[in-house]
Amino acid sequence: MRIALVGAFPFPFPQGSQVFCAEQARALAAAGADVTLICYGTGEGAPPDDLPLVRSRFAPRKLLSGPSIGKPAADASLAAALVAAHRRAGFDVVVAHNAEAALAALAARPWMRLPIVYVAHTVLANELATYAPRWTRSLAALGARIDAFVARRADGVVALSRAGERALAPSARGPLVRIPPGLAPAEPPSEAAVAAACRRRGLAPGCFALYAGNLDGYQELSLLAAAAARTRIEIAVASHAAGAPPAPLVALPGAGFDETRLLTHGAALALAARRATGGFPIKLLNYMEAARATIAHASVADPLVHAESGWLLPDDATADDWAGAVDALAADPACAARLGAAARRRLERDHDPAALAARLLAWLADSVRVAS
C-alpha cells in the first residue's frame, strides 16, 4: 500500500503532532507499506534519513501550532506538493494528519481521485477558541463547522481518543475508527544522566513536578501557575519554545527532546492540565514511557485510569484541587511509583506502534477499501 502521510506542519519539529506522525510513518513502513511524508516547506534541523520526505514550496513563518496569516498560502502549497508527489509515486491513499492537512488533501482530490483519510488530532470546536479567548463563542462555532465539514467529506476518519470519536461520529460519512497514537518504550536513562540534566536546570531529582510541551493557551498553564502558588514542591515547565510560562512556574525554555526525557525521568510527578477534549496529548505517552505518576483531567487522559495508572481530576477542578493532588502524590512516593509503573505497563500493552500500524492498514484495506 502506497501511503501519502500529509501533515500541515513543519517537519522535523519537536512537537507532539510531528513526533506522532513520524512514529506512525516508521511503523507503517515496518509493516510493509510504502510511506511518503508530505509537509510544509521548512523544519528544524536535518530531516531523518529513514523517512521519505516531500516538502511544499512555501511554509508559514510561524512554526508553532495555531492560526497564522501565512497558513492559507502554505496549505495551498501543501496541496500542490501532494498532487506533484502523487504524479511521481502513484499513491493508493492519503492519510492526512490534522484538519488543515485534510482540507489541503480534499482540495487536491480532483487531481488525484484518491481516498482521503482524516486523522483528527483534535476537535476544533473545543480547541480553536483557546487561541483567542475574546472570541470564544464565534471560534467554537467555526471550529465545529470545520470539524463537520472535514468529517463529512473524508472517505474515512481516524479519531485518537474517545472524545474525538464521539464528537466526529455524527458527521462522518465514511467509516470511523479510534486508533490512539503509539510509542515504543526505551530503556530508562542512567541516574547519572538524569541527575546531570536536573542539575543544569537548577532542579533536584525527585523534588519537582513537570509539565512538558508547548505553551499554547489550550494547555491551561495559567491553572498550573495558580496551583504552583499553593504547592509544596516546584512545578517546572520544559518547553522547546523560548517564551516563558506564567509565574511562579519554573521556566525551562529551549528544552529539546533528549533533555526533556531526562527531566521527565527526574520529576516526581508529570502534569497535563489541558481541558480541550478530542485530541490525544502525546506528552501522556512520554510520561507513561518514563513511568511517571501523571495528574491530568479525566476527559483528555484516555490511557489512564484514576488511582490505578494515573491521578485524574474532573474538568472543573480548581487550582486548589490541582495543588492538593500534587502535594498528596509528592508526599506518597510509593503511590506515585505504583501509578507510574502501571502507566508504563499500559503503554506497552495498548500503544505498541507495530500493533497500531497493523490495525490501521487492516482498517484501510477492509473499511476504506484501499488496495493493499
269 forms beta bridges with: 209, 293
Each residue's pLDDT tens digit, 61-101: 766 566 677 788 999 999 999 999 999 999 999 999 999 99
Look-up: residue for cell 518514563?
Answer: 290
pTM of the model: 0.94
Instruction: Catalogue all structural domains in the chain, each as residue range(s) with its CATH number.
Output: 2-182+352-366 (3.40.50.2000), 191-350 (3.40.50.2000)
Q: What are phi and psi of 208, to 5 degrees?
A: -150, 155
pLDDT digits (tens), the chain, 372 positions: 999 999 999 999 888 899 999 999 999 999 999 999 999 988 888 899 999 999 999 887 766 566 677 788 999 999 999 999 999 999 999 999 999 999 999 999 999 999 999 999 999 998 888 787 778 889 899 999 999 999 999 999 999 999 999 999 999 999 999 999 999 999 999 999 999 999 999 999 999 999 999 998 889 999 999 999 999 999 999 999 888 999 999 999 999 999 999 999 999 999 999 998 899 999 999 999 999 999 999 999 999 999 999 999 999 999 999 999 999 999 999 999 999 999 999 999 999 999 999 999 999 999 999 976
Distance in angstroms (rounded) separating the CA atoms of residues 285 and 298? 15
Q: b vs e for 227-255, b when ≥16 Cβ sit within 10 Å of the residue's Cβ?
A: bbeebebbbbbbbbbeeebeeebbbbeeb
Contact predicate 6/78, CB 8 Å: yes
Cα 97 to the center of its chain, rounded Å: 11
Q: What is the pLDDT of residues 205-225, one digit of tens each?
A: 999 999 999 998 889 999 999
